[in-house]
Amino acid sequence: MFSGFDFDVIERALPYMGQGMLFTLGLTLLSMLGGIVLGTVLALMRLSSFKVLNVPAGGYVNLLRSTPLILVIFWFYFLVPIAMKKISGDAYATGIGPFYSALIAFTMFEAAYYCEIMRAGIQSVPRGQVHAAYALGLTYGQAMVKVILPQAFRNMVPILLTQGIILFQDTSLVYVVGLTDFMGAASKVAQRDGRLVEMYLFAALIYFLFCYSASHLVKRLQLRYGSGR
Amino acid sequence: MDFSVFLQPAFSGGGTYLDWVLSGIKWTLWVSILAWIIAFTVGSVLGVMRTTRLAILHVPATVYVEVFRNIPLLVQMFIWYFVLPEIVPKGMGDWLKNGMPMPEFWNAVLCLGFYTASRVAEQVRSGIQSIPRGQTEAGLAMGLTRPQVYRHVLLPMGYRIVIPPLTSEFLTIFKNSSVALTIGVLELTAQARQISEYTFRTFEAFTIATVVYVLITLTVTVAMRALEKKVRVPGYIGSAGK
């Protein structure tokens, strides 16, 4: 079947692939953090009774959840330099580089999904907690920060982490704007050395190992710390 | 912001840019619908297999789902398109590379179909497992064989329960069809990119693509809500688990 499967090309390429993996991990973690923060803010906006907060947040979330990630990457890749030109007033500003455009794209995209997760999390906290907090004289802000959000986060940790694993897989799509993440590195080596089979199968294997172990860890975490449902 | 660019004739012939957009929509719809047919049939079979006790059915289904869920869709596309023709026997490999009509399209359909099948399998499995065990046992007590229990008791309820998550999978297929642009399928996002490169009207091109995707999502959501209302079982609110 494999006449001359070349393990050597994988071995020689490992440092370069390592850089790509660092890129992927960095993009994943930063987008996750940004997405969770922004997503929580959006969730609070969607749950508020002020229409001026409710409606735009809902519109944003629905818009980003209906659009493919590749298109969102293209949008931000195209829009961020224009925004930089407007902000800095310099007609020839080149923007902040493709990595940051991709980071912004992923953060904004994931925020929509994290918003839905956090909204479910906040709604899963028993209403009695809210009433008790108000009865003790806490303001809305204090009730949220000290009582509701901590419980919501604890309930949602497995789902947040699972969404993080999905994000890890989705970062491979920065390939379409030429960024060198793990998949991009594998692809470049493959095209340079003419070894498509070995490199793509190796990339698939690494992604599989990472994601499989990560989802197993999440499952174990869920079993051990799961708030009994 | 000049939307009239879509009525201008295309630089490389073949009608106006609007025709490019329509062609992109056509390919997106074809890829998504054919992939969904594969995903739904294969995924249902796999989901049912995962709920059985027989290891010979259970294990391959679990392996399939784990493999296809943990490898990114882009990597899978590349493997279908670039790697598969190399590792199958020489005759078939040559046909895949030279003889097969529209190889990018069929590879995209198969890849997307089998990827989504693993997700559909999970939904079907959770739907079947959310039905109380009493139903299965009552069926068996009445003398039905296990296949008959599945056919007459579990699957009718199971599918009604998982219509909302399956709707979301159907929408996800439309969005994932955009990944096919990496192997050369000229679906909607690819056409939008091409138009933006030929006319420099990036904003208009991407706006049209975004609007089309939003419209597809709205249409499917409304249709699925109507379907849900028709098949709803009184007493069962909402969907089963994740």
Q: What is the pLDDT of residues B113-146, one digit of tens each?
A: 999 999 999 988 988 888 888 888 999 999 989 8
pLDDT tens for each residue of B69-105: 999 999 999 999 988 888 888 778 777 777 778 888 9
Closest partner CB to B74 (pick from A63, A159, A172): A172
The residue ranking higher by pLDDT, B235 or A29, is A29
B34 falls in which pLDDT band (50, 70, 90)? very high
DSSP state of B131: S
Whether the pLDDT of residue B233 is over 80: the answer is no
Contact of B74 with chain A, judged by CB distance below 8 Å, is answered with yes
Q: Does residue B238 form part of some domain?
A: no
Per the DSSP assignment, residues forming a β-bridge with B9 are: B16
Computed over every residue of chain B, the mean pLDDT equals 86
Position B240 in a domain: no
pLDDT tens digits, one per residue of A77-117 = 888 888 777 777 766 666 677 888 899 999 999 999 999 99
Judge whether B78 is closer than 8 Å to chain A, CB to CB. Answer: yes
Least confident of A95-104, A111-120, A148-157, B176-185: A95-104
pLDDT class for B228, splitting at 50, 70, 90?
A: confident
Q: Is B211 on the interface with A (CB under 8 A)?
A: no
Taking an 8 Å cut-off on Cβ atoms, the answer to whether B72 and A207 are in contact is yes
Q: Which domain holds residue B74?
A: 3-231
**Whether the Cβ atoms of residue B162 and residue B239 lie closer than 8 Å to each other:** yes
- Is B241 among the domain residues? no
Percent of chain B scoring above 70 in pLDDT:
91
- pLDDT of B239 higher than 60: no
Chain B residue with Cα closest to A207: B71
Q: What is the DSSP letter of B238?
A: S
Q: What are phi and psi of B138, to 5 degrees?
A: -65, -40
Question: What does the alpha-carbon distance between residue A130 and residue B218 come to, in Å, rounded to a whole number?
Answer: 34
Q: State whether A212 and B217 contact (CB < 8 Å).
A: no
- B160: tokens are 């009604």
Cβ B84 vs Cβ B7: under 8 Å? no
From the list B66, B73, B82, the residue facing A212 with the nearest CB is B66
pLDDT band at B241 (very low <50, low <70, confident <90, very high): very low
Q: How many domains does chain B have?
A: 1
For the entire predicted model, the pTM comes to 0.87
The neighbouring-strand residues paired with B16 are B9
Question: What CATH number matches the domain at A21-224, 3.30.420.280, 1.10.287.3510, 1.20.1250.20, 1.10.3720.10?
Answer: 1.10.3720.10
Instruction: Determine contact: B140 vs chain A, CB below 8 A.
Output: no
Average pLDDT estimate for B108-115: 94
- Which CATH number belongs to the domain containing residue B22 in this structure? 1.10.3720.10
Residue A1, pLDDT above cutoff 70 = no
Say whether pLDDT at A155 is over 50. Answer: yes
pLDDT, tens digit, 9 for 90 and up, residues B46-71: 999 998 888 888 999 999 999 999 99
Residue B9 phi/psi, 5-degree rounding, is -65, 145
B-chain residues near A201 (CB < 8 A): 79, 83
- Per DSSP, helices labelled H in chain B are 17-51, 55-70, 73-78, 84-87, 90-94, 103-129, 133-141, 146-149, 155-161, 163-176, 188-199, 202-231
Residues of chain B contacting residue A183, judged by C-beta atoms under 8 Å apart: 72, 74-75
Confidence band for A4, pLDDT divided at 50, 70 and 90: low
Between B72, B83, B175, which is nearest A68 by CB? B175
CB of B179 within 8 Å of any CB in chain A? yes
User: Is B188 inside a domain boundary?
Assistant: yes
What gap in Å lies between CA B165 and CA B40, rounded to an integer?
12
